[in-house]
């Protein structure tokens, strides 16, 4: 509706990804640099994470438009909850392969044959996996196994994993993904746009559809739009759509702060906008609910653990060095005189090492509980 009123040729703030509207924000430029570096390596995994609506899909769509299809075959999948066997069949389908039967071995054979065929034709293969946070750990391991396909010394498949922040946590913390972590050659987390980028972002998208200055915007609108959206592109689009619609309904040629407030109040009342969106969140490490302390064991936090381990390592090193220096002394008389001191140090070291073992057991137990709690919270939030 507002497109006609303002004489626009298209939808400037559509919510679906469109590479034609790609905006070079600071974080997107960094991500594109990491992607370019990773693709130049031609192997392993590239990981891009970001909040819902941060622009991951638009970024990749823009990247795909710059690649030569004669040199790179691309398969793209958007994942739901897939197990290790299902993901193999989805990968085969993404490259246009028809697999007879539904067994995993046939799908793997078809994929390997396709990769060899593309390599002989001089083309590399890239698999793009969106919504990677939905994949199980066994499914991710299957993707890692696909990266083992080689022709001589040349890897045949490279994988780009896109996911929400929880995927980043899974990838960093799961002990079963160590081999996959070792194959990640480039990674970037998309941050929200900065406050000064909101105005050029809005103008950029409007100019793509023939905007000629109508409507105009009060400067205060851009600042308040940043505060309301947190700098997340999809949230900005969501609000801007409603703002432009209100402008058309009221036949306004200028968008002001009062109109923005009316739109935000309406969206909050409709629950059309996340309650957490009104203020941008400061950059910080993810926070988790406190883990209940183990019975008869002290509560541990990250700083305490690091300080405890550092102190322990330093003490052990000092004791070991003292023992070595004392043992290396050649004079028998000195050695005999110092034997009680050496024995005392060795006994103290043994006690410290025993205490160290208990501390590490406590840490491992605590981390296991933390991971289990995170996974249960993720399952509950997805079920809701």
Residues 315 and 241 in one domain: no
Tell me how far apart the terminal alpha carbons of the chain are, to the nearest angstrom.
Answer: 34
pTM value is 0.68
| DSSP SS3 for 188 | strand
The mean pLDDT value of the chain amounts to: 81
145, 167, 190 — which closes off a domain?
Answer: 190
The answer to whether 236 and 225 are in contact (CB under 8 A) is yes
269: its two tokens: 């009342």
128: buried, middle or exposed (CB in 10 Å: 19+, 13-18, 0-12)?
Answer: buried
* Stretch 273-280: mean pLDDT: 42
Residues paired with residue 46 on neighbouring β-strands, in sequence order: 160, 186
Cβ 27 vs Cβ 193: under 8 Å: yes
Which pLDDT score, from 0 to 100, does residue 330 have?
44
pLDDT in tens, 30-81: 999 999 999 999 899 999 999 999 999 999 999 888 888 889 999 999 877 7
Percent of the chain having pLDDT more than 70?
70
Q: Say if residue 45 is in the same domain as residue 174.
A: yes
Report the CATH number at residue 147: 3.40.50.300
Parallel, antiparallel, or unpaired: how do β-strands 154-155 and 150-151 relate?
Answer: antiparallel
Query: For residue 361, what are the domain limits?
Result: 302-383
Kindly state the tokens that stand for 111.
């994929």
Please state, in angstroms and rounded to a whole number, the distance separating the CA atoms of residues 353 and 145: 39
Q: Can you tell me the mean pLDDT for 205-220? A: 95
**Position 106 in a domain:** yes
Residue 143 and residue 55 in one domain: yes
49 and 6 in a single domain? The answer is no
The model's confidence at residue 366, banded by pLDDT at 50, 70 and 90, is low
Please say if the pLDDT value at position 205 is more than 90.
Answer: yes
Q: How confident is the model at residue 139 (pLDDT cuts 50, 70, 90)?
A: very high
Decide if 279 is inside a domain. Answer: no
Number of separate domains in the chain: 3
CATH code (residue 256):
1.10.8
Are 46 and 153 within one domain?
Answer: yes
**pLDDT for residue 282 is more than 50:** no
Residue 300 has pLDDT above 60, yes or no: no
177 lies in a domain? yes
Chain length of the chain: 384
Predicted confidence at residue 358, as pLDDT, reads: 62
Please state, for a pLDDT cut of 90, what percent of the chain lies above it.
55
In the structure, what pLDDT confidence band is assigned to residue 352 with cuts at 50, 70 and 90? low
State phi, psi for 157 to the nearest 5 degrees. -140, 135
Examine the domain organization and report whether 221 and 240 are in the same domain. yes
150-177 average pLDDT score: 92
């Amino acid at each position: 509706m507002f497109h006609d009123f303002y004489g626009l040729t298209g939808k400037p703030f559509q919510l679906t990804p469109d590479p034609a509207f790609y905006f070079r924000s600071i974080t997107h430029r960094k991500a594109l640099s990491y992607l370019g570096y990773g693709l130049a390596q031609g192997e392993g995994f590239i990981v891009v994470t970001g909040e819902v609506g941060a622009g991951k899909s638009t970024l990749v769509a823009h990247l795909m438009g710059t690649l030569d299809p004669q040199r790179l075959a691309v398969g793209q999948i958007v994942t739901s909850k897939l197990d290790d066997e299902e993901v193999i069949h989805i990968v085969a389908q993404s490259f246009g392969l028809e697999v007879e039967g539904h067994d995993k071995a046939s799908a793997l054979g078809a994929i390997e044959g396709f990769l060899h065929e593309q390599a002989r034709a001089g083309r590399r293969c890239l698999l793009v996996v969106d919504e990677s946070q939905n994949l199980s750990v066994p499914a991710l391991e299957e993707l890692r196994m696909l990266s083992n396909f080689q022709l001589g010394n040349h890897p045949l498949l490279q994988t780009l994993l896109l996911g929400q922040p929880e995927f980043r946590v899974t990838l960093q913390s799961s002990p079963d993904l160590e081999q996959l972590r070792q194959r990640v050659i480039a990674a970037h987390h998309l941050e929200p746009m900065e406050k000064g980028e909101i105005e050029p972002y809005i103008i950029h998208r409007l100019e793509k559809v023939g905007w000629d200055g109508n409507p105009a915007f009060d400067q205060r609108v851009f600042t308040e739009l940043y505060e309301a959206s947190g700098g997340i592109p999809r949230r900005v689009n969501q609000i801007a759509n409603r703002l432009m619609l209100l402008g058309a309904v009221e036949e306004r040629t200028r968008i002001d702060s009062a109109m923005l407030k009316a739109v935000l109040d309406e969206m909050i009342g409709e629950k059309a906008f996340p309650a957490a969106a009104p203020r941008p969140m400061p950059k910080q490490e993810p926070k988790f609910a406190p883990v209940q302390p183990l019975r008869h064991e002290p509560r541990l936090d990250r700083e305490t653990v690091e300080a405890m381990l550092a102190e322990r390592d330093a003490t052990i090193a000092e004791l070991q060095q003292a023992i070595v220096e004392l043992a290396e002394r050649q004079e028998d008389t000195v050695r005999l005189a110092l034997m009680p001191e050496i024995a005392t140090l060795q006994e103290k070291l043994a006690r410290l090492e025993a205490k160290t073992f208990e501390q590490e057991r406590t840490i491992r137990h605590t981390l296991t509980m933390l991971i289990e709690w995170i996974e249960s919270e993720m399952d509950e939030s997805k079920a809701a």
